[in-house]
Structure 1
Amino acid sequence: MYLGDKQLLESKQKYEKRRTYYARRLEKLIQRINRLSNVRLTLFFAGGALAVFLYMTQNSSMGLSILLFTMVSFAGLVVWHQRLRTKQKYIQVLYESYDQALKRLTSEWKEFPDTGEDFRDPAHPYSEDLDLFGTSSLFQWINTAKTFRGREKLKEWLTELPVEASSIQIKQEAIKELAMNFAWRHRFMSDAGTLKRTLDSPTRIIEWAKTYDPFYLRPGVVILSRALPMITLTFLLLYFLTDMVPFWYPLAGFLIQTIILFLGKERGKALESVYAYKESLKMYGKMLQRFEKRRFKADYLLGLKKGLYDRDGKKAFEQIRKLSGLAELISNRGNSMFLVINIFTLWDIQCMIALESWKEKSGRSLGRWVDTVAELEGLASLAIIHFDHQEWALPEIVSENPGIVAASLGHPLLLNSTCNDVSIEKSSGILLITGSNMSGKSTLLRTVGINMVLAYAGASVCADRFSCSMMRIYTCMRVSDNLGENISSFYAELLRIKQIVSASKTEGKIFFLLDEIFKGTNSQDRHAGAKVLIRQLGKVGAMGMVSTHDLELGDLERESERRVRNYHFREFYKNDEIHFDYKLRPGVSTTRNAMYLIKMAGIDVDETFED
């Protein structure tokens, strides 16, 4: 069920071919850049020296011509060099994208820098116990989102149950289509990877875009802001070229425009807020343009495309590119040398008119466009699973038969994970898993839980077949004390169990995963408490799995008329070593290994008992 040799070889060959291709392009591009740098340097010194020589030998016109030619040519080479540098950076990101794809296949993904640590939440019903965020997490394995909201969207899909089951199937089709467009998907992801820094939350600019100031759109304001600079500049030219206009005419115009320019403090803040998002706006425009120009068939993707127009029916990427261009125009306003130009042209006012006009037509759509990019990034991350593991099952979300039925279910984050069949249905909704230490009980619980998370997100699951109903997941597995809150581990466990019991009464269908519950108390109370809890959860129709060392809980199968069913893991010994096959079997465990493990730790068990 994990990648077979043929499948692994084919996937690796595709990625290696692409990585090699971009490595060669990168090498050739670097050579071109180096050659261009040498040409540029040679032109600067040779052209400059020749211009000076000709000028000094009294051929001044030829010298000035050579100097002008050198300066123009040098400027052109600088622009060309900068474009090649930009291209180099993009190809470098593409190369790294395919390199990371190879590392996923060879289980080297745990070195990826984005672990999603900022999304860890101990209070969440299941994310901590199922390793969704942090080092060696599901998020670290699949995430390729670079934008602020793209990461948040993937986090949302992994931690929140969809409202309707039908939305999962629609998302599955989109993920399948994106998975098969793997070259396009890598280029789309690389568009965001070229940014120099991590993207901040776009909330500020989205809120800024929603409201516009009608003052700057008034015909009188627009006409005056256009006419006044023209009048002032006309007076200035007439003053220098003729004797018809006295000096105080252009001076009066200059002073009036200075007063107008420095009256609006809020105007400066608005312009600066746009400029701060200049690079990210450019990136959003590129990503939306790439999406809009690609033809898709999945309804989910077509629905996203329909929202990529503004009020006047203009395309989103064109409008964002226009806003990015306006941000470029604002870039020089902080330059003291630009101040005079700003005053003479009322540059800030012209920019505000253009910005307010943009906001009036497209401002309310900006948030939707940013969210579209976020959704595409989330879908692209989930598509990685489907492309890399095409033999994994696309889950079926059912409504008629609540529960989970899985064939050859494995843990997606474990290389060569042992697979087991799992069936949890209405007539037998609780599995009690017994077994000795390290036999695989906790891993099985996490395997079921993390595959349910993937199923609800719309991704492929690590199984040959998988179907489940819509259920809210709750876990109680890793519980520790909280010194800051003065909470012991046992009390923390009680709080988590209270949350599960409350949810089972109020939230409809829930699925719980309990690992060694009440381990912080004595064996008698642990046994009694676990028995009462399992009965209560079963009574309200909750489904789930419980792992335990308490073999006496196996009596619940008979007492509940098989509403609770017993399964176990076992170990075997060979050459005085303990081994596990991690295969799930019916019934209660008949083996124990605690004393053997104690002996392995160097403790003489016989002497201890004699004392």
Structure 2
Amino acid sequence: MDKNQVLLTKEKNMKFFMWGFIVLSAFTAYFSYIMGEQLGKQYYYGFILIIPFLFMSFYFRGRMLKYRALYHIKSSWGKKEDRKRNFKDIRKLYEFLCVEESNEFFIDNQTFEDFTLDKVFEVIDRTLSTPGEQILYSMLRNPVFDEDILIRRKQIINFFQNNKDLRDKVQTELYWMGRQRKNTITEFLWGKLPPKSNLKYFFNFMAIIPVILIVMIPFYGGVFGFYLVFVLIINMFINNKFRDQISCHVDSMTYLGSLVNTAKRLGTIDDSLPSYYKDIFVSNTKNIKSSKSAAMVASVEGGDVIVEYLNILFLTKERKFYSVIDELTKYRDELRKVYIAIGELDALISIASYRTGLAYYCEPVLNKQERNMDIINMYHPLIDNPVANSIKIENGGIVLTGSNMSGKSTFLRTLGINALFAQTICTCLSESYTGSYFKILSSISPSDNLLVGKSYYLGEAEAVLRIVKSCNEELPCLCIIDEIFRGTNPIERISASAEILDYLIKHNSLPIVATHDLELTEKVDKRYECYYFTEDVDDEGLKFDYLIRKGVSPTRNAIKLLKYLGYPEEIIKNTNKRVDILFNK
């Protein structure tokens, strides 16, 4: 029996004992009552036995949940997690950080869509918490240009790959914290808070009055009971008035309490936890008490009828709510640091898990030299049984030729994703990766937009323009373009493309461009090297090997493909004649 099966068996055993003691408590209560009624009141003392029985049931429940968490953590390690993801919620933190850190470079929406990074994220995401998935998403859209940050990320990833016991402890804490169902915690920490109000003093005053009236009733009679009912009615009106304002923040407050408690436990979990995170957890939570108040608001929200009326009488929810808001306002920066640190731990452990399931990978070697890239046997993260390709570029660019479906677009995406991985998760899908620090922009699949009256060509032109505008800055730009200006006529397309490629190569960029226009290979700057993909079309169909080759595509297989699909022989014959005439001019 493997270790995961042992955990599963232990969970089932703990569940059996938990229910056993619950049933034993029920039988004890039943027989104590029956015997007390029929044989004597001394048998009511049997109810006392329920206390240790319930205590034992809670104990075994805790053990059951512990083994359940460990089973989930261990059995899912190194495996893709198939679950539905709400990217609208996941990207909330990224959107706030874009505003806060507006001077930094972020992967824009066009490049994000070109590289299908939503699908890539789903493959690498093995996080257990809301901060974890949000930080991992933000990492993927924020390439790093600081060597020290990348070194620390590599160290943390390697640390958790090699320290299984501590990893299990940390992941257990993250598992208990979990994901917030509605994911409003991000707005709570980065968005606009409810305005500061002096109402808390009024609520405190209205909570003291019932206490005074209750004390006065034994001494001055029922008239004070009437006053107490009158105060209850007033406080019910106050409660209804502020119910919506408070209820919409209950989930966030509950998760905030869980966040702080998790950080406090992680700060003391083990001396071997990297000091960078340990120091953040300890120093930023030592003065925060909002976790208790947040938990109080949550428990008040879910109380029974009697408790609910008591909470209304003493305005417990309202008073605790403003207590949490005051503390959140005071310690907001500390809570943000804690949120990001927990998210980073979760995200980097996720990458350690992702590495475990890969056929092979490498840690990139990045340099400050001008525009260079040397990658051996890289592959795409979304393709099963991928064909690996290698490429080496030094202070130049590449023009790729080849027919449709031969592998050009996949190669572009593979190269772009590996360049992005190098500067984000320190894990490249290749045998080796050496390259410069790049800003990464692409134009692979710009689309037309009929709703705003934008043609395909205009969409292409705008996508390429944003690349051109980004190539005059200090950091080199990796420009990945597929079928430049395919939405216009050949004469203007080739002329404009040649000028743009010459401009890019002169302005601190490394362009990788795919095209069907073989004439373009003759018109571009000499610093461009030509590569191509090819295929074979015969009676059996299309055959691709998806391997990159140096040079210009020597074959014209578009007409062969038409023939294979069954086009009339007349069309095939006349098309070949036209092509021969054009090429012989």
TM-aligned CA distance change 1:603 to 1:17, over 3 Å: farther
Determine if contact 1:145/1:377 at 8 Å carries over to the other structure.
Answer: yes
- State the alpha-carbon separation in 2 of the partners of residues 17 and 592 from structure 1: 56
Determine if contact 1:455/1:461 at 8 Å carries over to the other structure.
Answer: yes
User: What is the letter of the counterpart of residue 556 of structure 2?
Assistant: R
Determine if contact 1:309/1:315 at 8 Å carries over to the other structure.
Answer: no
RMSD: 4.1
Superposed displacement of residue 314, structure 1:
1.7
User: What is the letter of the counterpart of residue 525 of structure 2?
Assistant: S
Determine if contact 2:114/2:445 at 8 Å carries over to the other structure.
Answer: yes
Superposed displacement of residue 546, structure 1:
0.9
User: What is the letter of the counterpart of residue 184 of structure 2?
Assistant: S
Superposed displacement of residue 258, structure 1:
7.2
Matched, 1:114 2:85: yes
Matched, 1:530 2:509: no
- Which of 462-471 and 577-586 deviates more? 577-586
TM-score, length basis structure 2:
0.80
Q: Deviations over 1:373-420 (max 9, x none)?
A: 222222222232344449521112211333222222222332332222
Determine if contact 2:293/2:320 at 8 Å carries over to the other structure.
Answer: no
Determine if contact 2:239/2:318 at 8 Å carries over to the other structure.
Answer: no
Matched, 1:305 2:275: no
- Given candidates 430, 433, 438, the residue that maps to 1:471 is 438
What residue in structure 2 maps to residue 582 of structure 1? Answer: 546
User: What is the letter of the counterpart of residue 314 of structure 1?
Assistant: K
What residue in structure 2 maps to residue 322 of structure 1? Answer: 292
Determine if contact 2:364/2:428 at 8 Å carries over to the other structure.
Answer: yes
TM-aligned CA distance change 1:275 to 1:77, over 3 Å: farther
- State the alpha-carbon separation in 2 of the partners of residues 183 and 600 from structure 1: 59
- Which of 20-29 and 532-541 deviates more? 20-29
Q: How does 1:253-292 map to 2 (within 5 A)?
A: 272=247, 275-277=250-252, 279-292=254-267
TM-score, length basis structure 1:
0.77
User: What is the letter of the counterpart of residue 252 of structure 2?
Assistant: Y
Matched, 1:380 2:356: no
- State the alpha-carbon separation in 1 of the partners of residues 382 and 495 from structure 2: 35
- State the alpha-carbon separation in 1 of the partners of residues 199 and 447 from structure 2: 59
Q: How does 1:1-80 map to 2 (within 5 A)?
A: 17-54=2-39, 59=40, 61-66=41-46, 68-69=47-48, 73=50, 77=53
- Given candidates 144, 150, 158, the residue that maps to 2:140 is 158
Q: Deviations over 1:38-74 (max 9, x none)?
A: 43454454444333433xxxx3x235444x44xx61x
- Which of 302-311 and 484-493 deviates more? 302-311
User: What is the letter of the counterpart of residue 322 of structure 1?
Assistant: K
- State the alpha-carbon separation in 1 of the partners of residues 281 and 198 from structure 2: 25
Matched, 1:592 2:567: no
Determine if contact 2:406/2:534 at 8 Å carries over to the other structure.
Answer: yes
Determine if contact 1:115/1:140 at 8 Å carries over to the other structure.
Answer: no
What SS does structure 1 have at the residue aligned with 2:138?
helix
Q: Deviations over 1:540-569 (max 9, x none)?
A: 23212111222222224xx633x1001122
Q: Deviations over 1:216-270 (max 9, x none)?
A: 689xx98x8998666544434x44xxxxx44446665776687688668887677
What residue in structure 2 maps to residue 4 of structure 1? Answer: none
What residue in structure 1 maps to residue 157 of structure 2? Answer: 175
- State the alpha-carbon separation in 1 of the partners of residues 365 and 23 from structure 2: 61
TM-aligned CA distance change 1:76 to 1:601, over 3 Å: farther
Identity, % of aligned positions: 20
Matched, 1:484 2:426: no
Superposed displacement of residue 469, structure 1:
1.8
What residue in structure 2 maps to residue 138 of structure 1? Answer: 120
Superposed displacement of residue 610, structure 1:
6.0
Superposed displacement of residue 132, structure 1:
0.5
- State the alpha-carbon separation in 2 of the partners of residues 196 and 585 from structure 1: 47
What residue in structure 2 maps to residue 337 of structure 1? Answer: 306
- State the alpha-carbon separation in 1 of the partners of residues 229 and 283 from structure 2: 39
- State the alpha-carbon separation in 1 of the partners of residues 293 and 283 from structure 2: 13
Q: Which runs of 5+ in 1 are unaligned?
A: 1-15, 240-244
Determine if contact 1:420/1:584 at 8 Å carries over to the other structure.
Answer: yes
Determine if contact 1:217/1:356 at 8 Å carries over to the other structure.
Answer: no
Q: Deviations over 1:61-116 (max 9, x none)?
A: 235444x44xx61x665565466556545644543444444544xxxx6x443374
Q: Deviations over 1:260-313 (max 9, x none)?
A: 886688876776466433542353245324432345779xx53333333467x7
Determine if contact 1:307/1:368 at 8 Å carries over to the other structure.
Answer: yes
- State the alpha-carbon separation in 2 of the partners of residues 29 and 598 from structure 1: 66
Between Structure 1 and Structure 2, how many residues are aligned?
Answer: 559
TM-aligned CA distance change 1:258 to 1:387, over 3 Å: same
